[in-house]
Amino acid sequence: RAKQEQKGDWLYLDASEQRLSVERQQLLADIRAALADNQFRLVYQPKVCLCSGQVIGVEALIRWEHPEKGLLSPIHFLPALEHHPLVVDIGEWVIDQALRQMTRWDSEGLALNVAVNIAATHLQHPDFVARLAEALASYPHIDPQRLDLEILETAALGELDKAHSTIRDCERLGVTFSLDDFGTGYSSLSYLKQLPVKTLKIDQGFVRGALSNSDDISILRGIIGLSQAFDRKLVAEGVETMEHGELLIRLGCYDAQGYAIAKPMKPEKIATWKSQWRPYPEWSAGEQVTQ
């Protein structure tokens, strides 16, 4: 820990130096072995325009196909990786896998934009930009503009100036950034003004609450206003029902993700989903009202 907090340093700590709990050390060892054994998978969840039904892209979400415990969602293993160098190995695997999948989809005529989640510790690695450039160079047919990196406010806040310059350098490569779980972090408005992210993703908590809680509606209105003032795109997370979508359209947020549209799915399911997916008629009607 002490070393980790030294300025300008990154984490050269290994598990023994970090004096981790026995359980966490075991989990980290298991994760490392699972990575080598190819037990991780990416599932993909569509992002769409609620009114037109247009597919904006898909978000890659990691899963662990554990030989004994079954399919594990990230909550069961990502927290153990926090502040640990192994998060970089996982993160690089995710980026490579997503680019590979895009190539595969491209060859099937499905040109999809893909978003990947980037952990704070990974973004802060001194080689992040160089390694991202290398990954992109390995897939020369993929336009980097089609890759979006989702970061949490807390990740961007870590070391402010450094995060800014990392984000700018990545944007020079062509990739874009989204601020995930927006509204749950601590960023001040002056900070948001400076942060070069293209998209704000409204945290699903506000969306879920908005049908029954007027405070959450006010928050949604506020975030929608902010996105317009700062000229950022907006995507709502956690659209679980037709009514959530309807409310968002009424408030002026048109792009969304959630179970009412599609659950995260294996990549080979996306083509069928895309050919069958239609927005609720109530959503399409919203478009005419706003025109």
Q: Which residues bind ligand C2E (CB under 6 A)?
A: 45, 61-62, 73-75, 78, 91, 94, 117-119, 150, 180-181, 204, 237-240, 257-259, 264
- Of the candidate spans 35-43, 64-72, 172-180, 184-192, the one that interacts with Mg ion by CB under 5 A turns out to be 172-180
Q: How far is the CB of 73 from ligand C2E (least distance, A)?
A: 4
- Cβ neighbours around 75 below 10 Å, total: 7
The Cα angle at residue 197 between residues 196 and 198, in degrees rounded to 5: 120
Measured from the CB of residue 257, what is the shortest distance to Mg ion in angstroms?
A: 9
Least separation in angstroms between CB 197 and ligand C2E: 14
CB closer to ligand C2E out of 180 and 246: 180
SS3 readout for the chain: CCHHHCCCCCCCCCCCCCCCCHHHHHHHHHHHHHHHCCCEEEEEEEEEECCCCCEEEEEEEEEEEECCCEEECHHHCHHHHCCCCHHHHHHHHHHHHHHHHHHHHHHCCCCCCEEEECCHHHHCCCCHHHHHHHHHHCCCCCCHHHEEEEEEHHHHHCCHHHHHHHHHHHHHHCCEEEEEEECCCCCCHHHHHHCCCCEEEECHHHHHHHCCCHHHHHHHHHHHHHHHHCCCEEEECCCCCHHHHHHHHHHCCCEECCCCCCCCECHHHHHHHHHHCCCCHHHHHHHHHHC
Binding mask 208-247 for Mg ion (x = CB under 5 A): -----------------------------x----------
- Contact segment (CB under 5 A) with Mg ion among 36-44, 92-100, 175-183, 252-260 equals 175-183
* Residue 264 binding target from ligand C2E, Mg ion, none, CB below 5 to 8 Å by type: ligand C2E
CB of 97 to ligand C2E, least distance (A): 9
CB of 210 to ligand C2E, least distance (A): 13
In this complex, which beta carbon is closest to ligand C2E, that of residue 87 or of residue 224?
A: 87
**Calpha distance 114→45 (Å, rounded):** 10
Contact between 153 and Mg ion (CB under 5 A)? no
| Contacted by 258, from ligand C2E, Mg ion, none: CB < 5 to 8 Å by type | ligand C2E
Closest contact distance (angstroms) between CB of 45 and ligand C2E is: 6
Site for Mg ion in 116-135 (CB under 5 A): 117
Shortest Cβ distance from residue 91 to ligand C2E (Å)? Answer: 6
- Tell me which amino acid residue 143 is: D
Phi-psi region of 57 (alpha: psi -120 to 50; beta: other; left: phi over 0): left
Nearer to ligand C2E among residue 79 and residue 140 (C-beta):
79
- Choice between 150 and 246, CB closer to Mg ion: 150
By CB under 5 A, name the one of 92, 148, 150, 153 that touches Mg ion. 150
Partner whose footprint covers residue 194, from ligand C2E, Mg ion, none (CB < 5 to 8 Å by kind): none
Rg (C-alpha) for the chain, rounded Å, is 19
Residues that bind Mg ion (CB under 5 A): 117, 150, 180-181, 237
